Amino acid sequence: MTMVIIVILTALLTALLAFNWHSDVSRFELTRLAVHKPEFKQRLKFLGIFPGLKILVDIVILVLAIAVTAVAFDAMGFVGTLIAFGAILLAFLLSRALRHTAYELVEKNLVWLNKYFAWTEVLGKVALLGDTPRISSRHELIHLIEQADFMDEPDKALLAGAARFPEAKLTDIMTHRSEIIFLQQNDTLGPKTIDELHQTGHKVFPVVDSDIDNIVGVLRFDDVTLLSLGQRKLKEVMSIAPPQLGRHESLETALGVMRRQLTNYLSVTDDKGRTVGMVTLGDVVDVLFGKAK
């Protein structure tokens, strides 16, 4: 009978030692994801009770270990103590092999655990075993930067801009096709037209052959002064056509192309090669320094 009790207690000890769960993302990220995804709401709730539940499990483990030792010693003396030690060691080793299974069982029963063990959150407040401090997403990093009290706003904008930069796309900052003011390559510019260009506030104007999908060059507003000296044709003073990049490319890629090709401009195209926008070096730098609109 004694051995049966020891076996049962050892099995319970194994199951509790195998108890295992951890969140792949931080509390901040879970809170953000839980807004739109119900499954993350359960994980967020369990994250709150897990420290207390872990304390409860540890207490029960300690009680079971003492019980195994006491039962074995009472029945077999010193030999029983050795058997109890062996049983506890076996439970520990078996639990290590069962940890992944235990994790999956916890994940599948989060709703049930949240319902019946919510009260263990009180235990977690006694000795908090919550998240190991870490940043698990760019969103969290940017949030922390924006909440920092020891930095002024320009520093926050610079760091937040650098954090956003790798994920930003050309479509996020480009001047859209409908807003592009372009010129025909055979156009001539008189004082009235030059004044109209000045009033647009733009510094760069694509020069096209027929339509915006056929950009053949770029006219900078500074080049307009050359036209007033008698060089009336745009194609005589315009810069070469800007490189083209697909609309889904990153700003990091765009910056690399500009650096290699020594240009300050890019045209953004869709999958069919049609122009959907324009990007300047200034647009890219504004994102990097947190000044993008």
The label of the residue with tokens 């839980």 reads 34
209: which strand partners?
211
- Would you state the structure tokens that stand for residue 181, as one six-digit string? 């003011």
pLDDT tens column, 117-175: 888 887 766 654 444 556 667 777 777 777 777 778 878 777 877 777 777 888 888 98
Task: Please name every residue paired with 169 in a beta bridge, in sequence order, or none if there are none.
Answer: 250
Q: What percent of the chain has pLDDT over 90?
A: 12
Instruction: Domain ranges for the chain, please list them.
Output: 2-125, 168-288
Predicted model pTM: 0.50
What HEC string does the chain produce?
Answer: CHHHHHHHHHHHHHHHHCCCCCCCCCHHHHHHHCCCCHHHHHHHHHHHHHHHHHHHHHHHHHHHHHHHHHHHHHHHHHHHHHHHHHHHHHHHHHHHHCHHHHHHHHHHCHHHHHHHCHHHHHHHHHCCCCCCCCCCCHHHHHHHHHHCCCCCHHHHHHHHHHHHHHHCEHHHHCEEHHHCCCEECCCECCHHHHHHHHHHCCCEEEEEECEEEEEEEEEEHHHHHHHCCCCCEHHHCCEECCCEEECCCEHHHHHHHHHHHCCCEEEEECCCCCEEEEEEHHHHHHHHCCCCC
**Contact indicator for 118, 249 with CB cutoff of 8 Å:** no
User: Would you say domain 168-288 falls under CATH 3.10.580.10?
Assistant: yes
pLDDT tens-digit map of 231-258: 466 777 788 888 999 988 888 888 889 9
pLDDT in tens, 74-99: 888 888 888 888 888 988 999 988 98
| Angstrom distance (rounded) from CA 249 to CA 78 | 73
